[in-house]
Amino acid sequence: MSTSERAAYFDQWYADMRHSPVKDEVERRHLGLPQHLQSTSLLTWDGLADVTDALRLSPGDLLLDLACGRGGYGLEVAQRTGARLVGVDFSAEAVRQARTQAHGLGREGDFEVGTLEATRIEDSSVDAVMVVDSIQFAEHPARAYAELARVLRPGGRVVLTCWEVVDPDDETQPAGLRAVDLRGGLVAAGFTGVEVVERPDWRLDERAMWEEAVTLDPGDDPALLSFRDEGVRSLRHHDARRRVWATASSPG
């Protein structure tokens, strides 16, 4: 699936979720997220605290939340740190919902359409980048890592959360996920101090969420149907994937 095709798919996916409170409630409960935080990724509340610390932001710094979805995580990090926020996503519908969420919370944030490989952000202009559960969607992974390096100021921080397959030769896993190599991608793009850590605690919370998701009756709710089907797939492949996060610094 090309980037444009994937963006069109996610436009509809995000639109469906506007009318699916049950899906959001189940996800928030298992991830420990507060009512106000709209998420489309699977980072837990405790995990968000870890990400916030690793970004090392100071008041007034500029944070890029890349593949920001509905914007909830980036808005929360900016609120905690006093950083300025720009969010970028390839889904125009996600960007629209992120703007609406920011307005509803009375928080500042600029949200624009762009891709992992082409953010439209100026060179060396941001102090930190976070990419939550989305780097696997890059059509050209090397270009995505290079884009992270391009937009970061010298010494800026990047934090990625994702999954890596246990066996890259396992053809039952999606090609995009099999290609994920956080350490290799960051090192090749010139980042320093690269650390990749497995987070089985996050994985356990995901499993509990999916175990409830597969029991749900979606009725005529397309978002809930998608959620249940993803649960079926995720449980089928649970032991073939590990939950990881990576931190690194831009050289300079």
Q: How far is CA 215 from CA 41, 212, 232, in A?
A: 20, 5, 10
Tokens read off for 190: 């010139």
Position 1 scores a pLDDT of 65
Query: Are the C-beta atoms of residues 134 and 67 closer than 8 Å to each other?
Result: yes
Asked if residues 246 and 195 have their Cβ atoms less than 8 Å apart, the reply is: yes
Task: Please tell me the distance from the alpha carbon of residue 209 to that of residue 201, in angstroms, as a whole number.
Answer: 13
What is the full per-residue pLDDT of the chain (252 aa) written as tens digits?
677 787 888 888 888 888 788 999 999 999 999 999 988 899 999 999 999 999 999 999 999 999 999 999 999 999 999 999 999 999 999 999 999 999 999 999 999 999 999 999 999 999 999 999 999 999 999 999 999 999 999 999 999 999 999 998 999 998 889 999 999 999 999 999 999 999 999 999 999 999 999 999 999 999 999 999 999 999 999 999 999 999 999 987
Burial 31-54 (b: 16+ CB within 10 A, else e): bebeeebbbbbbbbeebbebbbeb
Amino acid at 80: R
What is the spatial distance between Cα 73 and Cα 70, in angstroms, rounded to a whole number?
8
Extract the tokens encoding 213.
């998701």
170: Cβ–Cβ under 8 A, 6 or more apart, which residues? 178, 240
Structure tokens at 24: 């959001």
How far apart CA 88 and CA 121 sit, in angstroms, is 9
CB 152 within 8 A of CB 124: yes
Q: What is the pLDDT of residue 15?
A: 85
Q: Which two tokens stand for residue 201?
A: 């605690």
**Long-range contacts made by residues 18-25, C-beta under 8 angstroms, separation at least 24?**
18/97, 19/221, 19/223, 20/221, 20/222, 20/223, 20/224, 20/227, 22/216, 22/221, 22/224, 23/221, 23/223, 23/224, 23/227
pLDDT in the model for residue 126: 98
DSSP 154-193: EEEEEEEEEEEES-TT-TTS-HHHHT--HHHHHHHTT-EE
